[in-house]
């Protein structure tokens, strides 16, 4: 999430009651979690296992629970609980704002777009030109749709990320990380009925131009779907996945988190993707393998009884 304007790091340190060391005279431009961090961002870390990754990331400002060596040009904000400090900053700059109308007064809707009755359009939503939003669709705060987008009934755009702090050092186990990212849907996208697309935790979930979704598809937080992709019904994609241009995913496919599917790949029905796969190939099975290899293996498995008979001399 980018701040409305750069914010003094000294003010932020006072706001979260942090000890500030390093570059104390600079300004922060935004706040992100580690998967999507950018130059000028604040990021948090509360486990020694990830200290080096965060300190040496693109982030210029690190919320951390221990004083460590600070790289030149960066700043450390040392607090007892970096996660709580992160949440405090997010909730300050992106507070919960109730909406009491079906279409928020702050929403911007382009010329020629039509919204059917019983759909909800949240605060600061932007909808481009010539879009059609069918009944019972929810487009939640800050999400952005391009031109010529079609969204079928009962789809939800911009629900909160399924993203929790799982440290078991408090009276309850899991605390939700506030979602301050958005969903960005580019031009000429079609989304079927009953789909759910989660907003980014702190950045964007993106559906690329020309991509078409069937019904009942789920896209996790911070996932980027490329241009001109085709998804059949029942596809489940976890968070922080990169799906490159021209990918075709058939029904019932499940894609694990933080991986990449190369351009023009084809995933046949019921495939399970557990690690990154190359583009321009067809995949099948769980875990996903090249379909031609899997089919040859199945043929050999069917021949096992014949081979066994020959070995046993029958």
Which residues are catalytic, by number?
A: 221
Contacts of 112 (CB under 8 A, 6+ apart): 129, 130, 131
**Helix (H/G/I), strand (E/B), else coil: 10:** helix
Residue 213's beta-bridge partner residues? 231
List C-alpha distances in Å: 79 to 19, 224, 265.
7, 33, 45
CB 33, CB 24: distance < 8 Å: no
Give the integer Cα–Cα distance in Å for 143 and 123. Answer: 9
The CB density around residue 203, as the number of other CB atoms within 10 Å, is 25
Residue 64's beta-bridge partner residues? 45, 78
């Amino acid at each position: 999430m980018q701040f409305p304007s750069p914010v003094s790091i000294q003010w932020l340190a006072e706001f979260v009651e942090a000890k500030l060391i390093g570059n104390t005279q600079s300004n922060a431009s935004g706040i992100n979690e580690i998967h999507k961090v950018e130059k000028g961002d604040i990021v948090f870390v509360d486990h020694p296992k990830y200290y080096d990754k965060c300190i040496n990331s693109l982030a210029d400002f690190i919320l951390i629970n221990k004083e460590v060596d600070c790289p030149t040009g960066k700043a450390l904000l040392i607090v007892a609980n970096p996660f709580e400090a992160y949440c405090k900053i997010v909730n300050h700059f992106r507070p919960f704002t109730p909406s009491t109308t079906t279409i928020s007064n702050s929403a911007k809707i382009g010329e020629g777009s039509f919204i059917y009755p019983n759909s909800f359009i949240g605060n600061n939503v932007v909808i481009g030109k010539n879009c059609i939003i069918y009944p019972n669709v929810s487009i939640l705060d800050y999400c952005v749709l391009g031109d010529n987008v079609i969204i079928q009934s009962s789809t939800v755009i911009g629900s909160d990320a399924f993203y929790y702090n799982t440290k078991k050092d408090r009276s309850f186990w899991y605390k939700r990380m506030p979602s301050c990212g958005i969903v960005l849907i580019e031009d000429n996208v079609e989304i079927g009925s009953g789909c759910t697309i989660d907003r980014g935790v702190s950045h964007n979930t993106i559906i690329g131009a020309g991509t078409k979704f069937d019904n009942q598809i789920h896209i996790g937080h911070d996932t980027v779907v490329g241009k001109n992709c085709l998804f059949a019904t029942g596809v489940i994609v976890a968070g922080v996945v990169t799906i490159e241009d021209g990918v075709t995913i058939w029904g019932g496919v499940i894609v694990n988190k933080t991986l990449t599917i190369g351009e023009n790949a084809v995933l046949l029905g019921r495939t399970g993707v557990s690690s990154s796969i190359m583009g321009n190939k067809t995949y099948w099975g769980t875990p996903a393998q090249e379909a031609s290899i899997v089919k040859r293996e199945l043929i050999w498995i069917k021949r096992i009884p014949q081979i066994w008979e020959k070995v046993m001399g029958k």
